[in-house]
Structure 1
Amino acid sequence: MENEVRSEILKQADAAYASGRLEEALDLYRQVLADDDSVAWAHSRTGAILAQMGDLEAAEAHLRRAIELDPNLPQAHSNLGNLHYQRGDFAAALEKYKRAVELDPNNPTFYENLHAAYKKLGRIGEAVDAIKRAQRLKRQQLQTGARAEVASTGTRVSRRAGCLPVGLLAALLVALLAAALS
């Protein structure tokens, strides 16, 4: 399979995964892995799907293979942490979640996972810190998305005669967003 074809199949698989069509996504990831067993992303997603389907042994094998292939793939560490969490091994889950955060400190989901593990381990102060960080990151992402949307909208609006200046529109939208998030 050529790289372009593999990339297209991975895009289709990711889209199916994102929309909750897990069987379809699993088939597509397996198609990639049948051709090339060294695609860490496909192993990570396959492991995540298998874990959701309850096949924890196969899920673990794929997640460990993903980490073996790419030790810096934060999703694989987080997904393996989720597997440990499902099994009730909260200490092992915590270690994997910490590694995911080290690799991608701007992912709020990883902090939410940390929160859950800390909470299960009775480490309430650290759990609170983790959930606060997750919430802060989500707000930042919303604000960044809103600013990008305003910039995009502002460009279209500024082309129309008699419209409010883009700067004023941006300021109004950011103020409304900040008020809504408070």
Structure 2
Amino acid sequence: MDQLFESAFKLHLSGKFSEAEDIYRQILSEQPLHVMAKHYLGVLMHQQGLSAEGVELIKEALISDVGKASRYNDLGNILVQIADFDNAITAFQSSLEYCHDDANVWNNLGSVLHHQTQIKEAEYAYRQALFHTPNFVPALNNLASLLSDTGQHAESSRLICLAYIQPPLTDKPLKQLAVAYFRLGLIADAAECYRAWLHMEPDNVYAKLHLAACTGENVPEKTPDAYLKEVFDGMSDFFEEKLVTTLAYSGPEMIAVLLKECAFQEKTLDVLDGGCGTGLMAPILARYSRYLIGVDISAGMLGQARARNIYTDLVEAELVCYLRNCEKRFDLVVLADTLIYFGELIELFRVIRQVLRPHGFICFTIEISSENAPQPLGYNLSVVGRYTHSLCYLSEVLSVHGLVIVAENQAILRTEFGQPIPGVAMLVGFGG
């Protein structure tokens, strides 16, 4: 009978259901209590759409052999598939009574509890799965989904990344692996991904910049133009939604507060929106502008800005090059989320100062460097590829050019992997 069952089981696994069923039934006609034949005949009946008969067969097998955790797990999975969720929960719980450390069953239980909106119980089940098998990918992803749904975004993103770096890694893009590694603080592993990428594509600007960010070696003073064009042209269609919705970007609101505090008269200023992107700042700046120019290096982003029909003019250019060719024509230069692509700021502020009229202003946002991060230059290229600046360095830059702070607004500029990123918006003008 054991040999006969093995032949039926092999047929079953190979999808030859009719032949397998005949042999299972032949076995049961001679040995009605053959547990394995009855159980897998039940599974086969479900696979052929006869779920009610299949469930009964599995239950009968359990009566004869109640101590088999795997049979309760199979029963639970079938009950989930026919939407009998309450009994599925009971089946998974019964399985765990016989094998308490089975991560797969804990995950299955968590999944059905999650579906039934028993959130605390589902979270407990997922965490039990991970307690017994810490890097169990299905539980990592399921718990991440639950935590995201309940607003626990930081831990959710960590778990997603942890799941992503589990083997096999062969078919996973190096870029995504690197992102996952640095989110987990495994910066050396992220760097190795970028090195491997550069081995295949020696001139890849993205890999070069992010390797520099990971190692602190060969850090450029500003983000390369080719990088900005490639990245922002490629994401222009969905950039704004991601920035505002996913990353909770608050730069425009922070700047709007400063402009309102300074009580500029409406429609009186000639304004430059430097690094205008998709034009998020345009509705705010239009209130004060009689003339509004947007400048950006990305043609794709300018296409989105042009669709707003707010700007007086839009120019495709690298910002510093554009400013060097300007006369003193602006009352206000706005740099919202632009300085994150410049490390060294002295030259940028020099050319901005040259295009401002005598009583002009600069309004900008920066990301503030962590106090714990080494910053011998006053700025850092973070592992996400954006520059952060120390407030001390910013004060030095303003002092060099005779600029003083008129108003400032410190707040959370955005979130990154669920973590708040501190920033500051400043309105500065000429001293004296």
- Scaled by the length of structure 2, the TM-score of the pair is 0.29
Aligned equivalents of 1:126, 1:36: Cα separation in 2: 41
Q: Report deviation, 1:70.
A: 1.1
Asked if 1:99 is matched to 2:94, the reply is yes
Asked if 1:81 is matched to 2:55, the reply is no
> Which of 24, 27, 34 pairs up with 1:32?
27
Are 2:106 and 2:129, in contact at CA under 8 Å, matched by a contact in 1? yes
Letter in 2 for 1:56: S
Aligned equivalents of 1:17, 1:86: Cα separation in 2: 19
Q: Which residue of the partner structure matches residue 55 of structure 1?
A: 50
Q: How many residues of Structure 1 are paired with residues of Structure 2 in the alignment?
A: 140
Are 1:13 and 1:25, in contact at CA under 8 Å, matched by a contact in 2? yes
Asked if 1:69 is matched to 2:59, the reply is no
Are 1:44 and 1:75, in contact at CA under 8 Å, matched by a contact in 2? no
Q: Deviations over 1:104-152 (max 9, x none)?
A: 3344432332122111111234334434554653958xxxxxxxxxxxx
Letter in 2 for 1:16: L
Q: Report deviation, 1:46.
A: 0.9
Aligned equivalents of 1:106, 1:15: Cα separation in 2: 29
Aligned equivalents of 1:108, 1:70: Cα separation in 2: 22
Evaluate the alpha carbon distance shift between residue 38 and residue 84 of structure 1 in structure 2; reply closer, same or farther with a 3 A threshold: same
Q: Report deviation, 1:24.
A: 3.3
Q: Deviations over 1:18-47 (max 9, x none)?
A: 344433332322221121110112111111
Aligned equivalents of 1:30, 1:108: Cα separation in 2: 33
> Which of 117, 121, 133 pairs up with 1:137?
133
Q: Which has the higher strand share?
A: 2
With 119-128 and 60-69 compared, the bigger mean Cα shift is at 119-128
- Scaled by the length of structure 1, the TM-score of the pair is 0.63
Aligned equivalents of 1:180, 1:87: Cα separation in 2: 32
Q: Which residue of the partner structure matches residue 124 of structure 1?
A: 119
Asked if 1:14 is matched to 2:9, the reply is yes
Evaluate the alpha carbon distance shift between residue 133 and residue 19 of structure 1 in structure 2; reply closer, same or farther with a 3 A threshold: farther
Evaluate the alpha carbon distance shift between residue 101 and residue 88 of structure 1 in structure 2; reply closer, same or farther with a 3 A threshold: same
Unaligned runs of 5+ in 1: 1-5, 141-177
Q: Deviations over 1:36-61 (max 9, x none)?
A: 11011211111111112110221122
| Cα RMSD (Å) | 2.9
User: For the pair shown, which has the larger CA radius of gyration, 1 or 2?
Assistant: 2
Asked if 1:110 is matched to 2:108, the reply is no
Q: Report deviation, 1:71.
A: 1.3
Are 2:8 and 2:19, in contact at CA under 8 Å, matched by a contact in 1? yes
Q: Report deviation, 1:179.
A: 7.5
Q: Deviations over 1:142-165 (max 9, x none)?
A: xxxxxxxxxxxxxxxxxxxxxxxx
Q: Which residue of the partner structure matches residue 264 of structure 2?
A: none
SS at match of 1:130: helix
Are 2:42 and 2:54, in contact at CA under 8 Å, matched by a contact in 1? yes
Q: Which has the higher helix share?
A: 1
With 71-80 and 28-37 compared, the bigger mean Cα shift is at 71-80
Are 1:118 and 1:126, in contact at CA under 8 Å, matched by a contact in 2? yes
Which ranges of 4 or more aligned residues in structure 1 deviate by more than 4 Å?
132-136, 178-182
Aligned equivalents of 1:139, 1:27: Cα separation in 2: 41
